[in-house]
Chain A
Amino acid sequence: MFSRILDIKSIKKSSVIGLNERNIKLIYPNNAKKHYPLADDKVLTKEILHQYNIPCAETYAVIEYNSDIKKAWEYCKKFTAMAIKPANGCGGGGIKIIKKDLDNNWTSSGKVISEREIFQHMAATIMGFFSLGSHDRVLIEECIEPDPFFSKIYPAGVPDFRIITLDHQPLMGMLRMPTDRSDGKANLHQNGVGIGVDMQKGTLTQVYDGNNYYSYHPDSKFVVQDVPIPYWKEILEISVATAKAFPLNYLGVDIVIDKNKGPQIMEINVRPGLGIQLVNKQGLKETIQKKNK
């Protein structure tokens, strides 16, 4: 009984930030609602990134009306690969990666796709099929090729770094990797794994799959502990640059490493999740206090 009370006390003192505290202490005072679209709309995000010359995937085209699809396509079809995204999609819905195969056919997820189908997908995006019914824009951009560093850990899918910034300072980071069960997705909710990051040293720490901690990737068994992250200095630099470019003081910055161009900003998030605390075995409150000292 007595130990239970002590237990509760230790919990109270703990440095974990819950959803309530995140909303009231971090999001509401730091991110004004009117600026949310800058993060939620990928087209707006990229406009600002380009403006500040922050590295990110090259924008091939932005399509606002159905009548513009053909014209944009005439320009885009010279590239060998591209990502087609809804500007306001949620949960990764509506994102299509298309690539040219050896016979010059377009393929998506390994299957041949006709131009007609590509146009239909764009038209559906514009009609708001992936953004709850409101009119949307299509963003066509360069397709990122992950750095070979990642294929050592796990060979498939697109892994990305998530850096949390508060007042333009990086607080905490993690690397999100796909697994055999996550269907190429790197999200923790979708059975991906999170790998903790030592922000000072720029090395990976431990792997968390939602239940257990490992020192290696659970599928490839590649030991990640103390492995240095390539381009770590650049990663920190571009996350700080991004945080400064936006009028949002509490951000989740998502970064991928392209094998040719190095770290690139993928997108930013005004309501970054709290699972990163679990991945790093550390409460955000503690981290914030340390930074303020």
Chain B
Amino acid sequence: MNSQTNLKVALLLITIIALISIGVKIQPILKNYDDFNPDMVYAINYNYFFKSEDKSTTVKSFIPKTNTRQRISEKQSISDSTLVFTKEISEKGNIRGIWNTNHKNSYHTLHYKFVYEGREQSFTVPEKFNLITDKYKYEEFLLPTSNIQSDHKKISELAKQLKQNTQNDKQVIKNILDHVVSIPSAPIITLTDALTTIEQNKASCNGKSRLFVALARNLGYPARIKGGIILENTEKRTSHVWAELLINQTWVPFDPLNNHFAYLPANYLEIYQGDEFLITHTPGIQFDYAYQIKKMNHISFLNMNSEEIRELSNISLWKVVESGVMPQNALNLLLLLPIGGLLVAFLRNVVGVKTFGVFLPVLIAFSLLQTGFISGIILFVVLILLVGLISYPFDKIGLLYTPKLVISLSIMVGLMIIATMIGITYNIIWLTTLTFFPTIILTIAAERFSRATVEDGYRTAIDKLFQTLIVTAICYSVLSWSWLPSILIIFPECILLVITWSMLLGRYIGIRWVEFYRFRPLFT
């Protein structure tokens, strides 16, 4: 009795301490709540180096602006005092930074820095597009230009060919994209126009995008070039262009180099629209450049920078995130494990679901985050059934338990390797994701499954597999919530709460929910 009371007091104290610690932090966090919720944050630095000539020298570069999917902040131009920085807005709505100097024959360095916060964006493309009634308004997106020769015979022929046997506008666009994607990519730095792309049958992003736009315009779809940078944690010199189609008053992105259909990844920095050059400068000068890009740690729902989060409280794991000692994914996994475990404990002890292995559903749910839910679940079931089936004859031979387990494991590894090889050879991406699954745990689950089929019959075994899948799906739906790892990083006290809740669960003597069904004759 006494130790029971002590335990209760200890639990209560732990809970109170954890709640106080959380409470201290909650106020500033609520104040800094950010409904923009970016997927990725990068700090970008344009670095331009040049030598001015005998006359006034100018360097111009487009600079990005905030829109519905990207937020640009902390903009800053740093250069020597002889450079004058001004901004202009072009008639197309692009913003251009202009750096001008009258100092002759001197070396100059200029930096333009900003922070990018962005989200991925995908669009639903309707089968049929509304007719463009106001042709005049969209003239510039429909007419040919010197590099987008949408009226050329070859372009017309190709466009006609791609339109053949299509039922609706969406299919036409899909055909155009597929065709342009299928043109071999080549790292061609120089300008490639639409026609040359057909003739050479290879191009980089700019040639492909121009051809895509030319084909779309030829068929009467308003289209334009879009320019920007694919952000990676590195220093790079390549910028990127893709295309946009005006579909029912909305500009929808298509990337004919990386095969994005109506989708823009979170790390695409949009800078300008139109068939322009990102940088222009006074001709004949010495000029060099690089884009310095750094991935920033961030918490999606907080409008706070790294230092502000660090200063929030000493009790947070932000320092671990900043130090980079642990990959973010590994840290997330570590933090989510107890939460997933608590969930499984609840489902087993309160609901009464039976699963193969205690933590198998949690680990499978993690793997599903990598493989995608539907294909992952199918792969999981097929693996378990296949290994169970293949191991069946070994069960019959009468082998000892441990060597039999090794055979199952080897079969599992073999299947995974074969599937991955097939996936690579035939370019089936979902097959190559098999290796994300925790092999040993999967093997034990398969082994339990095959044993259950022998001991309890197929029905019970399939039933248990089905329950395991349900628990996995529930774990997945909770663990895939993107805020959860961030919340645990700011509030690691939650782990303490998991322990106290588990203590409560551990003493729970109520009837399990499935037992209401099992013992139903006794309840009526």
Contacts and interface: CB of A to CB of B under 8 A. Distances in A.
A278 B456 contact: no
B55 to A, nearest CB: 86
B512 A19 contact: yes
29 contacts: A14-B511, A14-B522, A16-B511, A16-B515, A18-B509, A18-B510, A18-B512, A19-B512, A20-B349, A20-B508, A20-B512, A21-B509, A21-B511, A24-B507, A24-B509, A91-B455, A124-B398, A127-B400, A128-B401, A129-B398, A129-B400, A129-B401, A274-B519, A277-B522, A278-B518, A278-B519, A278-B522, A281-B521, A282-B522
A25 interface: yes
Interface string B494-514: 000000000000011111100
B27 interface: no
B438 interface: no
Interface string B226-242: 00000000000000000
B23 interface: no
Contact of B522 (A16, A25, A128): A16
B321 to A, nearest CB: 39
B447 to A, nearest CB: 11
Interface in A37-55: none
A110 interface: no
Of B400, B507, B519, the most chain A CB neighbours within 10 A belong to B519
Contacts of A91: 455
B16 to A, nearest CB: 26
Contacts of A19: 352, 512, 515
Interface in B150-199: none
A238 B266 CA distance: 75
Interface in A96-131: 124, 127-129
Contacts of A132: 401
A120 to B, nearest CB: 9
A128 B352 CA distance: 31
Contacts of B510: 18, 20-21
A291 B436 CA distance: 56
Interface string A130-153: 001100000000000000000000
A11 B400 CA distance: 46
A189 interface: yes
A14 B518 CA distance: 14
Contacts of B511: 11, 14, 16, 18, 20-21
Contacts of A213: 521
A274 B516 CA distance: 13
Question: Residue among A19, A25, A277, A282 with the most chain B CB within 10 A?
Answer: A19
Interface in B418-461: 455-456
Contacts of B455: 91, 93
Contact of B509 (A10, A11, A25, A283): A25
Contact of A11 (B398, B401, B518, B523): B523
Contacts of A93: 455
Contacts of A274: 519
Interface string A272-293: 0010011001110000000000
A253 B320 CA distance: 57
A155 B456 CA distance: 25
B400 A16 contact: no
Given A124-B398, A127-B400, A20 B519 contact: no
B402 interface: yes
A20 B515 CA distance: 10
A10 B523 contact: yes
A14 B516 CA distance: 11
B168 to A, nearest CB: 49
Which of A93, A278, A282 has the most C-beta atoms of chain B within 10 angstroms of its own C-beta? A278
Contacts, number: 59
B61 to A, nearest CB: 67
A128 B403 CA distance: 12
Instruction: List the 7 closest A-B pairs by CB distance, nearest first.
Output: A133-B401, A21-B509, A18-B511, A18-B515, A16-B519, A20-B509, A16-B522
Contacts of A21: 509-511
A278 B512 contact: no
Given A18-B519, A19-B352, 14 more contacts: A11-B511, A16-B515, A18-B509, A18-B515, A20-B508, A20-B509, A20-B510, A20-B511, A21-B511, A24-B509, A213-B521, A277-B522, A278-B518, A278-B521
A128 B400 contact: yes
Interface in A1-51: 10-11, 14, 16, 18-21, 24-25
Tell me which of A18, A21, A127, A283 has the highest count of chain B C-beta atoms within 10 A of its own C-beta. Answer: A18
A127 B512 CA distance: 38
Contacts of B507: 24
- Between A20, A93, A128, A283, the greatest number of chain B beta carbons within 10 A of the residue's beta carbon is seen for A20
Interface string B378-410: 000000000000000000001011100000000
B102 to A, nearest CB: 83
Interface string B306-325: 00000000000000000000
Contacts of A10: 523
A218 to B, nearest CB: 16
Interface string A54-93: 0000000000000000000000000000000000000101
Contacts of A283: 522
B509 A277 contact: no
A210 to B, nearest CB: 10
B456 to A, nearest CB: 7
A14 B511 CA distance: 10
B516 A11 contact: yes
Interface in B467-524: 507-512, 515-516, 518-519, 521-523
A127 B398 CA distance: 11
A8 to B, nearest CB: 10
A283 B520 CA distance: 12
A20 B516 CA distance: 13
Interface string A200-212: 0000000000000
Interface string B18-31: 00000000000000
B402 A133 contact: yes
A20 B509 CA distance: 5
B231 to A, nearest CB: 52
A30 B455 CA distance: 29
A278 B507 CA distance: 25
A94 to B, nearest CB: 11
Contacts of A16: 511, 515, 519, 522-523
A14 B521 CA distance: 12
Q: Which of B402, B507, B515 has the most CB of A within 10 A?
A: B515
